[in-house]
């Protein structure tokens, strides 16, 4: 069985990090031609080009990006191991890359990362990446992300290399939210006939749940505006004087300040929040800690 040549992988990793063949060759005391030959051997082993030239610059191909992500883990862990064995130095911090659905509640995301904000000794360095669902899953499959936060159902994977693991983090009831002076004083839908609404778009899961609730009472809301983005829906609910439907976590600050109030909670209607991961040998330990937290801690 042929084995991967880690010298070739190391040379590729250095060039991919630096972006300059000349600089890496000088650092490693190799000629440019010799370094190029080593990388070509790795490309032959992989059966795909790992770099392409664009205006005299080396740019990673799609395959090159995947190889680099693995090499980054392998050689970073190697450096940490060397420091630990030779000098007894533990790694300064773990790296954590969190993908978030661009339209979901920022307050919920902040609740999820709260332990990272309150950490002592800077043991975790984390980054947040807001994208649409397709790009989040692509980033996860490419090992550019460690965990993805979403409030939508997990679609089935078309790739045999992407066996998604979806974990329910929290489920929060949906409430009718409005200005303090908008309370009709009677249960829905009585007293709501003249109310204006700002709602998620018709394809949003929250909107579908609310439409189903309205159909039970043959109620047709007068829609002033629609917004899928929870941050924008929060602003519309706060500033328009209209009613909205959302989990209370989205507007928790406005509720605490008395700028908005909960008119009533919808019965048996929830928004679910999920964490999506891929099985990985080098998963940062902090991911398991965050996912093991009780659901109530993220409300």
For residues 231 and 82, which has the higher predicted lDDT (pLDDT)? 231
For 151-180, how does the pLDDT look when each residue is reduced to its tens digit (9 = 90+)?
Answer: 887 766 555 545 788 999 998 899 999 999
Tell me the average pLDDT of the chain. Answer: 85
In 200-251, which ranges are continuous DSSP H helix? 205-216, 230-239
Neighbours of 24 (CB within 10 A): 21
- Give yes or no: residues 28 and 155 share one domain: no
Q: For tokens 């030959």, what's the residue?
A: 37
Residue 132 corresponds to which tokens in the numbers above? Answer: 């649409």
Q: Are residues 182 and 125 in the same domain?
A: no
CATH code (residue 149): 3.40.190.10
Assess whether 237 and 185 both reside in one domain.
Answer: yes
Q: Examine the domain organization and report whether 186 and 129 are in the same domain.
A: no
Q: Please state the φ and ψ torsions of residue 54, each to the nearest 5 degrees.
A: -135, 110
For the cut 60, the answer to whether the pLDDT of residue 17 exceeds it is: yes
Does residue 103 form part of some domain?
yes
Q: Is residue 83 part of a domain?
A: no
For the chain, what's the residue count?
A: 299
CA-based max dimension of the chain: 81
Classify residue 86: in a domain, yes or no: no
Task: Assess if residue 84 is contained within a domain.
Answer: no
Q: Which residue has the higher pLDDT, 80 or 265?
A: 265
Residue 80 lies in a domain: no
The reply to whether 185 and 246 lie within a common domain is yes
Domain coverage including residue 128: 94-170+274-298
Tally of structural domains, the chain: 3
Of the two residues 136 and 57, the one the predictor is more confident about is: 136
- Decide if pLDDT at 1 tops 50: no
pLDDT in tens, 83-112: 666 665 555 667 789 999 998 888 899 999
Measured distance CA(74)–CA(228) in Å, rounded: 40
Q: What is the pLDDT of residue 120?
A: 64
Residue 231 and residue 115 share a domain: no
Q: Distance between CA 234 and CA 212 in Å, rounded?
A: 22
Residue 73 lies in a domain: no
User: What is the model's pTM?
Assistant: 0.66
Q: What pLDDT band is residue 72 in, cutting at 50, 70 and 90? A: confident
């Amino acid at each position: 069985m042929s084995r991967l040549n880690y010298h070739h992988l190391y040379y590729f990793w250095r060039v991919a990090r630096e972006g300059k063949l000349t600089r890496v060759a000088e650092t490693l005391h190799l000629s440019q031609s010799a370094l190029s030959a080593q990388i070509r051997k790795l490309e032959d082993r992989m059966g795909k080009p790992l770099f392409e030239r664009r205006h005299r610059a080396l740019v990673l191909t799609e395959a090159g990006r995947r190889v680099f992500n693995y090499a980054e883990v392998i050689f970073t862990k190697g450096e940490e191991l060397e420091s630990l064995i030779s000098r007894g130095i533990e790694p300064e911090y773990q790296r954590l890359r969190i993908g978030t659905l661009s339209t979901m509640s920022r307050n919920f995301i902040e609740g999820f990362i709260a332990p990272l904000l309150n950490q002592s000794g800077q043991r975790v360095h984390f980054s947040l990446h807001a994208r649409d669902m397709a790009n989040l899953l692509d980033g996860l499959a490419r090992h550019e992300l460690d965990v993805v936060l979403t409030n939508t159902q997990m679609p089935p994977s078309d790739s045999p290399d992407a066996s998604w693991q979806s974990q329910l983090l929290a489920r929060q009831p949906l409430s009718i939210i409005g200005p303090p002076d908008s309370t009709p004083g009677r249960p829905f839908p009585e007293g709501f006939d003249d109310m204006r609404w700002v709602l998620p778009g018709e394809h949003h899961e929250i909107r579908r749940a609310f439409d189903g609730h309205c159909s039970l009472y043959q109620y047709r809301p007068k829609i002033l505006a629609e917004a899928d983005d929870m941050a924008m829906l929060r602003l519309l609910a706060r500033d328009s004087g209209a009613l909205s439907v959302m989990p209370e976590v989205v507007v928790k600050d406005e509720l605490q300040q008395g700028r908005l109030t909960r008119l009533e909670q919808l019965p048996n209607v929830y928004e679910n929040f999920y964490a999506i991961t891929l099985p990985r040998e080098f998963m940062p330990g902090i991911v398991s800690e965050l996912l093991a937290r009780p659901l109530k801690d993220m409300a």
